[in-house]
Structure 1
Amino acid sequence: MGPVATPKIAGIVWALLILNTLGSTGARTIIPLPRSLIQMVTMGALVAAFALALAVNLRLRIRAGAYVFLLTLLLVASVISSAHLESGFGALFRCARLALFVGTLWLLSRWWDGGLTFVRHHIRMYFAVLGSVAAGLVISSGAALPDLYGGRLVGALWPLTPPQIGQYAAVIIGLTVLLALGRRTDRAGAALVIVPSLVLLALTHTRTATLGLLVGLVLAIGSLILTSAAARRFFTWAVLCAVVAAVGFASALQTWFLRGQSQENFSSLTGRAKVWDALLAAPRTTGEKVFGVGLGDKSFGGLPIDNSWLAVYNEQGLIGVALVAAIFIVLAGVALLRPPSLQRACAIFLISYCAIASYTEAGLGDASPYLLHLALAAALLATPAEPAPLATPPEATRRTVPRWARNTEVI
């Protein structure tokens, strides 16, 4: 008997988890949406995701894994830090949200078998989100490229900020490129996802997402070079194109990268460094250093922290920082020990992207897209419970299916 087949409802659950992590604050939309309504939709999506996951896994069959176990420990640390109510009753509400989030991942872990099923769910849902961004740009370019954000692309139908859009675009571009290199999707389907996502990424002027995409792809494709001729060809052409772009479009690239900022503003990471310095200099008790002040809105002094490590330190203390570091160490260690494969490459891309983004984006200590990206990496690194039997001999497959069409699927 082969591995347990992933039910279609698992894809719906994954999509609902993504909807929950879209957030409730951002740009002004064409049709004003009350924050209470957005929170009702996102929280309703999480409750629905947990209920559906429980309905499809009533026997509570799970796969023990280090990632979800460490997330559970992080939940416990969050509850301990939030129990003092230094961050108000909202901290306990955020703990309940994190509990549902982690519980849903536990229920889905039954179908984490190292396959690409959840990768496709990930790409499809985030591509649908980007579709809403593109629709908002077509309907009202003024609302989608507001002066408030310096002309950067925002969500005009759903309140999404430029860093959010850049993150979603970068992640699905990277995953789709890897699927195309592994011949798990056709070129037309890959281009349909990659080209518009690249345009939206460029319009967001998001440096972190762009850097994470490039570094993540270099590491992921580098893990395939010894075993994949397609990866070697792609890497060679990518290097040549990068050299040509650096020589011929250096001025335009510099302008895009600086976004019209002054040298002082750029060196302080758009003011982030000032918030970080203030957070680290603030007096703290021993308990606050160890356990933090409880789950909050990832801000300090009314300003966003925009650093996952400092946000975790502020809210979950040194214990939270140690647990998040353990998550990266465990996932990266398992990825390095796995033999070269497409699944391993996708996991390396996701892990490296989240590691780079953690420097200028918060989210590793609470229910967020970054924890979903890492959950997907954990699912890709899981080993199948049992090898799946071949339905037909390999020789028959070679005779009846053209080589270019094997193992491909439209995204």
Structure 2
Amino acid sequence: MGGDLTRDGLPGGPDTAGPRPGAAPGPAGTPKAVGIVWGLLVLNTLGSAGAKTVVPLPRSLIQVVTMGALVAAFALALVLNRRLRVRPSAFLSLLTLLLVTGVISSVRLESGFGALFRCGRLALFVGTLWLLSRWWDGGPTFVRHHVRTYFAVLGSVAAGLVVSPGAALPDLYGGRLVGALWPLTPPQIGQYAAVIVGLTVLLVLGRRTDRAGATVVIVPSLVLLALTHTRTATLGLFIGLALAIGSLLLTSAAARRFFTWAVVCGAVAAVALGSVLESWFLRGQSQENFSSLTGRAKVWDALLAAPRTTSEQLFGVGLGDKSFGGLPIDNSWLAVYNEQGLIGVALVAALLLVLGGVALLRPPSLPRACAIFLISYCAIASYTEAGLGDASPYLLHLAVAAALLAAPAAAAPVPTPEVPRRRVPRRTQRSEVT
């Protein structure tokens, strides 16, 4: 990945700000193996369908690897948290209710036995998050795990681009960047790049890493994001960063300087490179294709027009592959409505509203800003990407936000060493002789 991955910082240097004021350490700190569990969860959510790779990988093999990663993550989390100590939260409770809704909708087998398999996968996913919640303390630990893991994924994308540029920029995807070593689509790569760029910028502003280490992450990630031509990820990055930095303006001089320079540079780029940016944004599409969101609107209209029973409206048809009529839905809200019904939509909306409400009620801080960025990015991406109702990177993003918004864990009481009391011999009183 480049740079030195230290315990307290991103590539390039340690945490220069020290511990957060008022943050109490957890009972025994966060084990390093928690980062391995998080990496396995990320591997599970990479998916098994995508572009053709340089070395053809059977889909069955990829599914075995991803599911094996999830089972290993759950088992390792169970070993690390043998006493099953968890930190209940509204996020995890709503996620559990969403799982229950998915099971209710899937037991009717309208989507086949694959729906029950996906329920089992979601159950392991949610169970692992419950086990990891013991170490959710409002600190940036899980932000660093998130950035490092996805940067490693982007490293494989960059390696594929170097090894086989033709496979990494295929005509099938209009010359957009895909994963040539692991089957990743342009929206996936764009999402990973945008999220780690946004989080790393915020860590720099909060002085939780140095600029040299952050540059190693930000610059290559921005290049890969530009090569994907992913509009949703780009808009989510800029809008999410604007909201997150806006929450720091009153308390951070660095945030005010960055915001000012960003506005100035953005205005200059819009004037000087307006035609180039417009061409990149349109991706050579016609006005009709662009207005229909690359054909997504047609699938959405068909899904909403399809007849449904009352049970299907309330609970959906069961967890599926996020498609309708053989075409991807590419909308989290409609995908949840199709698979988990109106109850699932209400739970997902409550999940985002609870996280957003808690973030707004917190005082300005770096963890709050990172949480605002992740929540806003997921909300923006939910319009053209599916994933909020099933095990996905979007739920991992929101899990990091929940970890950032958790109250600091209470420190374990330090026993006071008992000082041995000195025995004083009792003075015998002499009887008075009369």
If the length of structure 1 is used for normalisation, what is the TM-score? 0.94
Aligned to 1:408: none
Aligned to 1:69: 93
Confirm or deny that 1:381 pairs with 2:400: no
Whole-Å Cα distance in 2 between the matches of residues 264 and 19 of structure 1?
A: 37
Whole-Å Cα distance in 1 between the matches of residues 315 and 58 of structure 2?
A: 34
Report deviation, 1:385: 2.2
Confirm or deny that 1:106 pairs with 2:130: yes
Whole-Å Cα distance in 1 between the matches of residues 63 and 411 of structure 2?
A: 43
What is the DSSP-based 3-state SS (H/G/I as helix, E as strand, rest coil) of the residue aligned with 2:82? coil
Give the aligned residue type for 1:221.
I
Whole-Å Cα distance in 1 between the matches of residues 217 and 81 of structure 2?
A: 32
Aligned to 1:17: 41
Report deviation, 1:80: 0.1
What is the DSSP-based 3-state SS (H/G/I as helix, E as strand, rest coil) of the residue aligned with 1:325? helix
Q: Which runs of 4+ in 1 moved over 4 A?
A: none
Aligned to 2:74: 50
Aligned to 2:14: none
What is the DSSP-based 3-state SS (H/G/I as helix, E as strand, rest coil) of the residue aligned with 2:53? coil
Residue pairs, 1:65-144, within 5 angstroms:
65-144=89-168
What is the DSSP-based 3-state SS (H/G/I as helix, E as strand, rest coil) of the residue aligned with 1:264? helix
Residue pairs, 1:10-409, within 5 angstroms:
10-386=34-410
Report deviation, 1:359: 0.1
Whole-Å Cα distance in 2 between the matches of residues 69 and 62 of structure 1?
A: 12
Tell me the alpha carbon deviations over residues 55-109 of structure 1, each in whole angstroms, 9 at most, x when there is no partner: 0101100001010110000000000000000000000000000000000000000
Aligned to 2:18: none
Report deviation, 1:388: 9.3
Give the aligned residue type for 1:3.
G
Whole-Å Cα distance in 1 between the matches of residues 332 and 409 of structure 2?
A: 34
If the length of structure 2 is used for normalisation, what is the TM-score? 0.89
Q: What is the alpha-carbon root mean square deviation over aligned residues?
A: 1.0
Whole-Å Cα distance in 1 between the matches of residues 205 and 314 of structure 2?
A: 45
Whole-Å Cα distance in 2 between the matches of residues 102 and 301 of structure 1?
A: 29
Report deviation, 1:373: 0.1
Give 5+ residue unaligned stretches, structure 2: 1-23, 414-434
Tell me the alpha carbon deviations over residues 212-265 of structure 1, each in whole angstroms, 9 at most, x when there is no partner: 000000000000000000000000000000000110000000000000000000
Report deviation, 1:2: 3.7
Report deviation, 1:372: 0.2
Whole-Å Cα distance in 2 between the matches of residues 279 and 244 of structure 1?
A: 43
Tell me the alpha carbon deviations over residues 342-378 of structure 1, each in whole angstroms, 9 at most, x when there is no partner: 0000000000000000000000000000000000000
Q: Return the index of the structure with the highest Cα Rg.
A: 2
Aligned to 1:404: none
Tell me the alpha carbon deviations over residues 12-69 of structure 1, each in whole angstroms, 9 at most, x when there is no partner: 0000000000000000000000000000000000000000000010110000101011
Q: Structure 2 vs 1, CA of residues 172 and 388 (structure 1 numbering), >3 Å: closer, same or farther?
A: farther
Whole-Å Cα distance in 2 between the matches of residues 92 and 375 of structure 1?
A: 24
Q: Which structure: greater helix fraction? A: 1
Give 5+ residue unaligned stretches, structure 1: 390-411
Confirm or deny that 1:3 pairs with 2:3: no
Aligned to 1:405: none
Aligned to 1:399: none
Aligned to 2:13: none
